Amino acid sequence: MTASLDFAFAVAGDTIDRDYSYGLFQALAAALPWLAEEPLAGVHPIRGLTACADRLLVGGRTRLVLRLPEPRAADCAGLQGARLELPAPLQVGRYTRRELLPYPVLHSRLVVTGAAEESDFVEDIARATAELEIEAEAIVGRRGELRAGAQRFIGFSLMLHGLSTEDSLRAQQHGIGRHRMLGCGLFVPHKSIAAVGT
């Protein structure tokens, strides 16, 4: 299967809403019309934001990161120089490519399966990892929610540990659950299982 990469774009701006995910997806889909149809595409939660009153402050280290199959590199290069309205504007700069690293411990800030109760969520995760043929210990963390327009999605943070190299890369490439374009179900490496509750 074609490898996936993370494409990290520098961004500049002032402040954005705390519930920016849906606005970001809409802006990205307008700039990259193929994005919503790419099954392995995902949009990470924006990194490097600082809480500021009821908004989030964009700083010099803020990055917009897209997870995409490697052949999409040339396509996503067109995002450089774009102005995204969330509705607050973000100016997109140059990007760097980052290979996925096969850490034995992965973490996702919010995984949404449709389950609102932890017991049901645990069953969903067991089914999802079995379907992906991933062997790992799963630790469920805090319950959280995501607002997307008038919709509200419930999920939980999730840590997978004890992963083999192949299983770690497979989990990162495919993710687990729904709403990858809103930042859900995307896994990043973590050096310790201690932060599952974060």
> Residues 127-177: pLDDT tens digits?
999 999 999 999 999 999 998 888 899 999 999 999 999 999 999 999 999
What would the pLDDT profile of 77-93 be if each residue is shown by its tens digit? Answer: 889 999 999 888 999 99
Closest CA to 190 of 198, 179, 182, 178: 198
DSSP state of 57: E
CA distances for 162 relative to 1, 3, 111, 184, 190, angstroms: 23, 22, 19, 22, 12
**pLDDT over 80 at 194, yes or no:** no
Cα separation, 141 vs 127, whole angstroms = 18
The answer, as to whether pTM is greater than 0.95, is: no
Token pair 């140059």: residue: 94
- The CB density around residue 92, as the number of other CB atoms within 10 Å, is 20
Contacts 24+ apart (CB under 8 A), 165-168: 165/102, 166/102, 167/133, 167/134, 167/135, 167/136, 168/102, 168/103, 168/104, 168/106
Mean pLDDT, the chain, whole residue set: 92
Which domains, ranges and CATH numbers included, belong to the chain?
4-99 (3.30.70.1890), 105-195 (3.30.70.1210)
**pLDDT over 80 at 10, yes or no:** yes
What would the pLDDT profile of 169-184 be if each residue is shown by its tens digit? Answer: 999 999 999 999 999 9
